[in-house]
A and B are shown apart, each in its own frame.
Chain A
């Protein structure tokens, strides 16, 4: 039964979706990967509930809201190998630029400047955390893939190594920023 496919999930927290775009940039190599993996949860598929057991989860984005925090904690308990994919997950990157300002001034800049009857949305949207943080500040992370975004070749390398049961050594394949 060694033919069973590796169950992969991807999630999108506070990021720009660039890491997911880079994942798709693997182009025709995705076809070969599809032979070996099953994408069980992702913004790219329809599943609404995160499955009970996933072998590898790729996390794009920093932890910025109460929803992000709840999601990542649940995902951690259901995931074998958790991969921080890209600078937002690894360093908090651009989303963290609001951390040197108060949350109040962030709302003021986003919703209160130059408008009449300014309203800050409070219904049906997740509450923001006072401070955006990298994924490994809130849950344990197994593999770190810096890059904004990590190149498609790097993501391919990461998945190929994990499929082979090895922990990818990434320093030569990517860096902060790119």
Chain B
């Protein structure tokens, strides 16, 4: 089976792709860096974090690279002053929205949010921190959900639904009040659908979902299973 080939340019470089690929896929394949936090190979992209916004010639809007399919003759810019400004704002808003206190976090040093903030050159947040009051759910026998550190990327929701097939996780609320929940917003430990597989913990980009018993900077995630499972299911073929 051969898919039709599309030719496009990214940052002035001519690249080719198959029709079902996204701009982010093709950029990554060609070694062009586009920041992203909600995207993860092996689960359906949703365009939630808005960090992968790119400029496409002919469109006045910025488009999220993770859910934008390639088109013949497309001209994409992944790096400009305007994009840097937007990405910086998005990142700072993520940091201001919850209580991300890296110095006392189990994921310190192994956190995608922390690492990306550094990569984008962020040394401070210009917006006032919201300091919301959020709970920590430690009712599960092996895992902890700390909503203070959640960025609502929905990786946990997607991996639980699409890969594990349990759909324990979901998101409730609107806007700034959104939060991830287990079952019908019951304590995780009382969930009837959770299989305890831990996939949600391993794909979480921050210290929001972690294993119990870890101290500061001890929690590193293992997500090698995901591309493997995706490949075995033939999605990457």
Contacts and interface: CB of A to CB of B under 8 A. Distances in A.
Contact of B124 (A97, A131, A133, A134): A134
A175 interface: yes
Contacts, number: 78
A46 interface: no
Contact of A91 (B105, B119, B125): B125
Contacts of B125: 91, 134
Contacts of A145: 123
Interface in A129-178: 131, 133-134, 136-137, 141, 144-146, 148, 170-171, 174-178
Interface stretch (B11-19, B96-104, B151-159, B166-174): B96-104
A131 B103 contact: no
A97 B131 CA distance: 8
A91 B124 contact: yes
A94 B104 contact: yes
Given A91-B129, A171-B118, A177 B124 contact: no
Given A93-B103, A177-B105, A146 B123 contact: yes
A57 interface: no
B117 A175 contact: yes
Contacts of A131: 131
A131 B132 CA distance: 12
A90 B129 contact: no
Interface of A: 84, 87, 90-94, 96-97, 99-101, 131, 133-134, 136-137, 141, 144-146, 148, 170-171, 174-178
21 contacts: A87-B102, A90-B123, A96-B101, A96-B129, A96-B131, A97-B99, A97-B101, A99-B129, A100-B133, A100-B134, A101-B133, A131-B131, A133-B129, A148-B103, A171-B122, A174-B123, A175-B114, A175-B118, A176-B102, A177-B109, A177-B114
Interface of B: 95, 99-105, 108-109, 111, 114-115, 117-126, 128-129, 131-134
